[in-house]
Chain A
Amino acid sequence: MNNNDRLERQERIRNFSIIAHIDHGKSTLADRILEKTKALTAREMKSQLLDSMDLERERGITIKLNAVQLNYTAKDGKEYIFHLIDTPGHVDFTYEVSRSLAACEGAILVVDAAQGIEAQTLANVYLALDNDLEILPVINKIDLPAAEPERVRKEVEDVIGLDASEAVLASAKAGIGIEDILEQVVEKVPAPTGDPNAPLKALIFDSIYDAYRGVIAYIRVVDGTVKVGDKVKMMATGKEFEVTEIGVFTPKTTQRDELTVGDVGYLAAAIKTVGDTQVGDTITSAKNGATEALAGYRKLNPMVYCGLYPIDSSRYNDLREALEKLELNDSALQYEPETSQALGFGFRCGFLGLLHMEIIQERIEREFKIDLITTAPSVIYQVTMTDGEELRIDNPSDMPDPQKIAHVEEPYVKASIIVPNDYVGAVMELAQGKRGIFIDMQYLDTNRVSVVYEMPLSEIVYDFFDQLKSSTKGYASFDYELIGYKQSKLVKMDILLNTETVDALSFIVHRDFAYERGKIIVEKLKELIPRQQFEVPIQAAIGNKIVARSTIKAMRKNVLAKCYGGDISRKRKLLEKQKEGKKRMKQVGSVEVPQEAFMAVLKMDDQQK
């Protein structure tokens, strides 16, 4: 390709992503676009193609990014090259959204014609605006009986402040409006600006690990051209590699000779460790490279921590291998070995949020077949000691003695909740019960209200989302962002089983709520821990002071004293089942404790009702 060809081609490139609240039809729209541009034959088409992990398809969410190159012949007769970059729609993955948006010039904003704008929609739109993207509103699901496209159009204008007069009315499911959307992409999304002759600058927006080719970087070329055989340099690490393969996703990986300005594709260079290709880094030529890197992204730090322990302690090494493998494709996952007196050897893991945590747990249990015990999630507390020393505590059991603590700070978030009028009271009650501080309330239209609270992240981690859903019959949408640390009156609550402290059950609680929570958790544990041969006292303690107590009664009778014929196999099965149940429990001191008990602190609120 010569330079003029490259420039001419660049004019025909459109890079965009789709942003939407979960369930508003993002994946279906992506499928329709793939269909319309004939990226796939009918035979290859399966629903929600871009969600490639089983878990993604089952849960209907996107976790990993995907980028596809498509060819579209527009009404003006010209063939355009589209790069569609898929984005996750969940609050935990905001970071990934920001990465994909940085590789685009435009974004299709999908809003459900019945539900209107949701908290996540807003969060993503602001991200897109921060990235100077051209936003094309699409009002989806107009074929639903409850659709009110004009109301939603007005909402988009009033709430977001976008011109929605040309918003496409579409139904991705029914295939309505797809062509209009593609035409708007051609007309409105700007072609990439950049110089194919300038030194190479390619943004790494994601990476995956492939056992055969090493790390594969997902890149967007901003300036210059890259070819197989080129020597390239990672600007952040300074490491150099020879490019072994480049290509695009159509969505199958398709090798190309070169990638140039505006192209979105992949690059392999026999890179052994994921750390060598940091997401957000810029790739340039080894010789005469660019002097200034592209603006990368802030690396997002985990917000939620928990301990992961194999139930069968002999599988500790398997668990480490599982985490190592998952980390290759999930740079947000952090882990380090930790030891618990109660649970033995395991890992303290950091996650972007609760969904992220759940997904990792589920993948370990499912893909690596390791039964896990998960301790209740914790946030990071900043502790200032009386001698002035500062500590970061991500495990409640590490909290120092209260006498040595000057003060403790905990992370606060700004929680935005959008909810129908009728449920505002319920939301406020919930937020206040979670130590929320009211900030703002606004009517989006006559029926829907946006409520903003500041509240401790730890309260959100303790099943806030589930409770929000149940107290609003699922109508509330919710988003949060970290706003910083605030001082709180926090204490560590220890749990003693049979008079021994079980470190894995300790949690941090606000002093004003401590007695109440202590009472609830000892009752909850009494329910969850089966009877043992001896009586087991359960105590909740702050320091040396017992604040709540209950008792698991001793097992009195467990014997099959039933009239039975000669069905010995069945008796055997019954005994085997009982034995199997025991294997899924963890021996803590002299007490056998089931998996669920370690998450009991999360379920405390069921009891309050």
Chain B
Amino acid sequence: MTSAAYIHIPFCHQICHYCDFNKVFMKNQPVEEYLKCLDGEMGMAEPGHYQSIFVGGGTPTALNEKQLAFLTRSIAERLPVLPGVEYTFEANPGELTLEKLRILKEGGVNRLSIGVQSFNDEHLKRIGRMHTKQDVYKTIQDAEKAGFDHVSIDLIYGLPEQTLEDAVDTVEKALALDLPHYSAYSLIIEPKTVFYNLMAKGKLPLPKEESEADMYEAVMNSMEAHGLVQYEISNFARPGFESRHNLTYWNNEEYYGFGAGAHGYVNGERYANFGPLKKYMEPIEEMKWPRMTAQKTTAQEQMEEEMFLGLRKMEGVSISDFEKKYKKSPLHVFSGPVEEMKNRGLLQVKNNFICLTHNGKFLGNEVFQSFLIQ
């Protein structure tokens, strides 16, 4: 059975300049009706117990206390969990009050993923974030006060006009908080964002490829020096604190996606929900799935995905697990790409695993695309 669930809250008080997720300004939106529909959609899922739940957005913490309480109750009722499960809420510094933290704690949430992005107030402003460095410290303190010991923060490097020193400074400040988990993403300019438009006009002074690579290298070095283990291209954790939910994606396992614009993978079928709120809500009111697209994955696609997702993990793809799952060896199915990428020094086969080399981490897409055979 599918035992992971992603729940999407598409509301924000402020839209970040780089964000291309499905989201709307919260003002005048039918938030309560949306939460009811979400409840309805979760109610349609196969009954069973969940191993990981992740509430993301948008900004889940943009919800007010009453709405949050409704949401956590609804999740608890619809998606029963076993003890020891990972249950994460995404949160924005500054929006996460002590009161909201208590509601989450009471609702069973045991992990927070905080969108810090940078410890430089200038940069934060530039990317459209509302919070400041001080808000971050306050939020982390409050989280501790509310009893959360599993807190992760997200950072973004490669911001406009960011230097290597800026990036290192942000990472060091983040590491000083001594948290068990960090994600460090590189800024990707996506269509339909403020940054995309600025870039098209030539008004986005992004760091050069060299300097972005240097930042990535520096991030990895700092993390390692602080005893954090890189377990995926952008993720670092103290042993035992890896995000189980994100590993679901990289292990090519199934998961539900609930909410407007959410994506899921259930019974071999990848689907996407309608993004616009109205389009999403209408079918649910008639007890129908709000699917915009749904497509069965073929065996070939599954194997390809197993590789390009699994290779994101530092341990890589387990040859024996692959053989168990597909009754074929990945070294045979993908003999061409494996050889080529090995020759290019981007891939290695170690014991039972196929994984990226250090260089391969920087040029992951070169490797991933070679596993798309069509």
Contacts and interface: CB of A to CB of B under 8 A. Distances in A.
B366 interface: yes
B139 interface: no
A498 to B, nearest CB: 15
A121 B188 CA distance: 55
A556 B362 contact: yes
A582 B370 CA distance: 11
Given A568-B249, A575-B368, A561 B210 contact: no
A560 interface: yes
Contacts of B263: 565-569
B135 interface: no
Contact of A559 (B233, B249, B372): B233
Given A557-B363, A559-B364, A579-B369, A566 B264 contact: yes
A553 B211 CA distance: 13
- Taking residues whose C-beta sits less than 8 angstroms from the other chain, chain B's interface range is 35 or more
Nearest to B117: A563
Contacts of B270: 568-569
Given A566-B255, A569-B263, A575 B308 contact: yes
Q: Which 10 A-B pairs have the closest CB atoms?
A: A559-B364, A556-B213, A557-B213, A579-B369, A575-B369, A562-B188, A561-B186, A567-B263, A566-B263, A561-B234
Interface in A531-588: 531, 533, 553, 555-563, 565-569, 571-572, 575-576, 578-579, 582
B364 A555 contact: no
B80 to A, nearest CB: 21
B361 interface: yes
B363 A558 contact: yes
Given A533-B366, A557-B362, A559-B364, 15 more contacts: A553-B209, A556-B213, A557-B212, A557-B363, A561-B216, A563-B234, A565-B263, A566-B265, A567-B272, A568-B263, A568-B309, A572-B308, A578-B365, A579-B369, A579-B372
Contacts of B183: 563
Contacts of B184: 561
Contacts of B363: 533, 555, 557-559
B196 to A, nearest CB: 14
A558 B309 contact: no
A557 B218 CA distance: 13
**Which residue among A553, A555, A579 has the maximum number of chain B CB atoms within 10 Å of its CB?**
A579
B344 interface: yes
B257 interface: yes
Interface string B228-266: 000001100000000000000100000101000011110
Contact of A568 (B8, B209, B265, B362): B265
13 contacts: A555-B363, A557-B186, A563-B154, A563-B183, A566-B6, A566-B249, A566-B263, A567-B263, A571-B308, A575-B368, A576-B369, A578-B365, A582-B369
Nearest to A579: B369
Contacts of B361: 559
Interface residues of A, number: 24
Nearest to B345: A533
Tell me if B's interface is mostly helix, strand, loop or mixed: mixed
A574 to B, nearest CB: 8
Contacts of B370: 579
A563 B185 contact: yes
B309 A559 contact: no
A94 B257 CA distance: 66
A322 to B, nearest CB: 25
Given A556-B209, A567-B272, A561 B369 contact: no
A536 to B, nearest CB: 15
Nearest to B366: A558
B364 A565 contact: no
Contacts of A559: 186, 233, 361-365
A530 to B, nearest CB: 11
Contact of A562 (B185, B255, B304): B185
Nearest to A562: B188
B86 interface: no
B305 interface: yes
B264 A576 contact: no
A210 to B, nearest CB: 39
Interface in B350-374: 361-366, 368-370, 372
Nearest to A577: B369
A556 B368 CA distance: 16
Given A569-B272, A575-B368, A560 B309 contact: no
Contacts of A571: 308
B36 to A, nearest CB: 22
Nearest to A575: B369
Interface in B295-314: 295, 301, 304-305, 308-309
B249 A533 contact: no
Contacts of B210: 553, 556
A576 B301 CA distance: 12
A295 B363 CA distance: 68
Contacts of B272: 567, 569
A575 B372 CA distance: 8
Contacts of B234: 561-563
Interface in A96-152: none
Contacts of A555: 209, 363, 366
Given A533-B344, A565-B8, A578 B209 contact: no
Interface in B325-366: 344, 361-366
Contact of B365 (A558, A563, A565, A569): A558
Nearest to A556: B213
Nearest to A578: B369
Interface in A12-47: none
Contacts of B365: 558-560, 575, 578
A561 B185 contact: yes
A582 B340 CA distance: 15
Contacts of A565: 6, 8, 21, 56, 257, 262-263
Nearest to A581: B369
Nearest to A563: B185
A569 to B, nearest CB: 6
Contact of A572 (B188, B262, B372): B372
Contacts of A533: 344, 363, 366
Contacts of B255: 566
Contacts of B265: 566, 568
**Which residue among A565, A572, A576, A579 has the maximum number of chain B CB atoms within 10 Å of its CB?**
A565
Contacts of A567: 263, 272
Nearest to A582: B369
Contact of A576 (B213, B257, B344, B372): B372
Contacts of B209: 531, 553, 555-557
A29 B209 CA distance: 57
Contacts of B56: 565
A557 B49 CA distance: 40
A139 to B, nearest CB: 46
Nearest to B270: A569
A146 to B, nearest CB: 36
B107 to A, nearest CB: 21
Nearest to B187: A562
A568 B372 CA distance: 13
**Which residue among A557, A558, A567, A568 has the maximum number of chain B CB atoms within 10 Å of its CB?**
A557
Interface string A330-342: 0000000000000
Contacts of A553: 209-210
Nearest to B259: A565
**Which residue among A558, A561, A579 has the maximum number of chain B CB atoms within 10 Å of its CB?**
A561
B52 to A, nearest CB: 12
